[in-house]
Homo-oligomer: A and B are copies of this chain.
Amino acid sequence: MKLSFAALVAGLLCSGSAYADTLVDHVRGMTLNAAGNVERFNGIVIDRDGRVLQLLHEDDPRPSRLDFAADGRGAVLLPGLIDAHAHVMGVGLAALTLDLSDTTSLAQAQGKIRAYAAQFPGRPWIIGRGWNQELWQLGRFPTAGELDVAVDDRPVWLERVDGHAGWANSKALAAAGLTAATKDPTGGRIERLPAPRVVSKVAGKATGKAPAAPAALGAPAGVLVDGAMALVGKIVPPPRPEDRDAALAKAQELFLSRGVTAAADMGTSIEDWQAMRRAGDYGRLKMRVMAYGDGIANTVLIGGPGPTPWLYEDRLRLNGVKLYLDGALGSRGAWLKAPYADAATTGLPFLSETQLKNLISRAAMDHFQVAVHAIGDAANATLLSAIEDVAQTYQGDRRWRIEHAQIVDPADIPRFGQNGIIASMQPIHQTSDRTMAEARLGPNRLNGAYAWASMLRAGARLAFGSDAPVEVSDPFAGIAAAITREGADGQPAGGWQPQEKLTRTQALAAYTTGAAFAGQAEAKLGQLKPGWRADFVLVDVDPMTDSADRIRRTRVLQTWVAGKPVWELGKK
């Protein structure tokens, strides 16, 4: 069923008619209404402002005066999917830089890094991302020496797949001035080589007492975790504006190719924002972006005294601020109530409770929406308390967002239903992280892990996203995961913690009406309804009836934004 745009469209142009519209007919159309019920239709009329004018059923008369008519030839037509948590610029930059996310061994990664460096001899730094020592079954972090083997003539800096650790070669460590004398910065950890003499001395003692003098630190091993990443990150040359423009174009292509017509950008820098505005100013902004500034400073610089208006006919808005309370589970940066099952640490918060409340208050004061990254159960509990506290002062419709809400103490889940808190979660994290999460948490702390159904039962608003580029932004893969809790390999059969599976409509709602609500766009996006923006996708799968496996392999045929086709399968 490969259909080109030319084949799909039986063009019919009647320009000059003042009331003419666009019709997309002969589709198997479907939308969810605000109550979560499926509405079906088989034609859609769009006005010249790119809004839905009418949904048509089999026997409805078709409008006679049209600018443009397209024949959907029986394709399924869905509302444009909304990615409630992505890093838009990150998706584009990642696509344009060295990508290690497909490597399954250290040796393979080394080969790919070597080849990339040879391909770009003029680049002063080799920058990349996507490695995952878990996939390599390394059982430890890689080292600078193992990176030097691939590239030793210039600095190399490679971010881990989750963005919570970075791997430097010796040139990069030297450029950053890191030595054994460098202490771990607050909220971060420098992986160390063993410091042999002191270690042997301590090991020689059989007493439980700590030595009087602290053990000498080992030399940096190569990997820097969370807050320590900035030690190298800050000396990496930043992308130039033209790099960001290219990255934004690439990112849009990738989102649209998966049927995503709008995304929440979680951590927009002023540079990102300027690139988005350039795209808007020049008419190159095809998808819609709901931005959350990276911290207070970026947010205030972007928005000034409050959120921006919707710009470029609802294609761009700064909604609020993105804050980080803890790190990720994979790098053991997530902040847990009890120590990790596989390490003697609980992870650590990036902010004290007072700092957190102050930042939330500062944002809420000016009506910036607040979205806070919280992965561990301690982070979620602390954040819930902070929101409960601040919400007493900043009342009304605030739409507090907790990003990831990944590991939550079951005792805390009911608190999501209070204060209208939005659980902004990523189904694919569950299937990707399953084994790692079991290792990090042990068997007895999984009840509140990726607990989508419990969240809904507790009255939380659910919004689904991808965390791209950490995972591919593919809502169809997300829906398949959400309704099965099985990976693409069908494992574990019957689903992991299957009590947290969602229904099909719940899953689709989290990617449409739920994500629109989370992004303050429920009156414009997320549904196909007269007056709403005509953002939709034509696909070859019916997510209400086809198998999860078919859904996972959905082919997006066309993606429309504002009543115009902006991406099409097989067409550049």
Contact = CB atoms under 8 A, between A and B. Distances in A.
A101 interface: no
Interface in A520-562: none
Copies in the complex: 2
A305 B282 CA distance: 13
A309 B283 CA distance: 11
B311 A270 contact: no
A366 to B, nearest CB: 9
The interface centre, meaning the residue of A242, A274, A277, A309 with most chain B CB atoms within 10 A of its CB, is A274
Contacts of A271: 301
Contacts of A245: 304-305
B304 A274 contact: yes
Nearest to A311: B281
Interface in A276-332: 277-278, 281-282, 300-305, 308-309, 311
A241 B281 contact: no
Secondary structure at chain A's binding surface: helix, strand, loop or mixed?
A: helix
A381 interface: no
Contacts of A305: 240-242, 245
A115 B274 CA distance: 43
Contacts of A282: 309
A401 interface: no
The interface centre, meaning the residue of A245, A277, A303 with most chain B CB atoms within 10 A of its CB, is A277
A242 B304 contact: yes
Nearest to A283: B309
Contact of A301 (B274, B281, B309, B311): B274
A270 B271 CA distance: 11
A352 to B, nearest CB: 24
Interface in A230-268: 240-242, 244-245
Given A282-B309, A309-B281, A241 B304 contact: yes
A407 interface: no
Contact of A304 (B275, B302, B304, B309): B275
Contacts of A270: 270, 301
A244 B308 contact: no
A528 to B, nearest CB: 28
Contacts of A274: 301-302, 304
A304 B281 contact: no
A241 B304 CA distance: 5
Nearest to A271: B301
Nearest to A243: B305
A277 B278 CA distance: 12
A277 B302 CA distance: 10
A234 to B, nearest CB: 16
A300 B274 CA distance: 10
B304 A278 contact: yes
A553 B270 CA distance: 45
A112 to B, nearest CB: 30
Contacts of A281: 308-309, 311
A270 B304 CA distance: 11
A159 to B, nearest CB: 24
Contacts of A275: 304
A460 to B, nearest CB: 33
A554 to B, nearest CB: 36
A275 B303 CA distance: 9
A303 B311 CA distance: 18
Contacts of A240: 305
A271 B245 CA distance: 22
A277 B301 CA distance: 12
A240 B296 CA distance: 13
A274 B300 CA distance: 10
Contacts of A244: 304
A308 B241 CA distance: 12
A304 B270 CA distance: 11
Nearest to A303: B241
A50 B552 CA distance: 53
Interface string A7-20: 00000000000000
A221 to B, nearest CB: 35
A505 to B, nearest CB: 37
Interface string A205-242: 00000000000000000000000000000000000111
A440 to B, nearest CB: 40
The interface centre, meaning the residue of A271, A282, A305, A311 with most chain B CB atoms within 10 A of its CB, is A305
A309 to B, nearest CB: 6
Contacts of A277: 277
A400 to B, nearest CB: 23
A270 B308 CA distance: 16
A244 B305 CA distance: 10
A445 B281 CA distance: 49
6 contacts: A242-B304, A270-B270, A274-B301, A274-B304, A277-B277, A282-B309
Interface of A: 240-242, 244-245, 270-271, 274-275, 277-278, 281-282, 300-305, 308-309, 311
Given A241-B304, A242-B305, A245-B304, 13 more contacts: A240-B305, A241-B305, A242-B304, A244-B304, A245-B305, A270-B301, A271-B301, A274-B301, A274-B304, A275-B304, A278-B304, A278-B308, A281-B309
Q: Which 9 A-B pairs have the closest CB atoms?
A: A241-B304, A242-B305, A241-B305, A278-B304, A281-B309, A274-B304, A281-B311, A241-B300, A274-B301
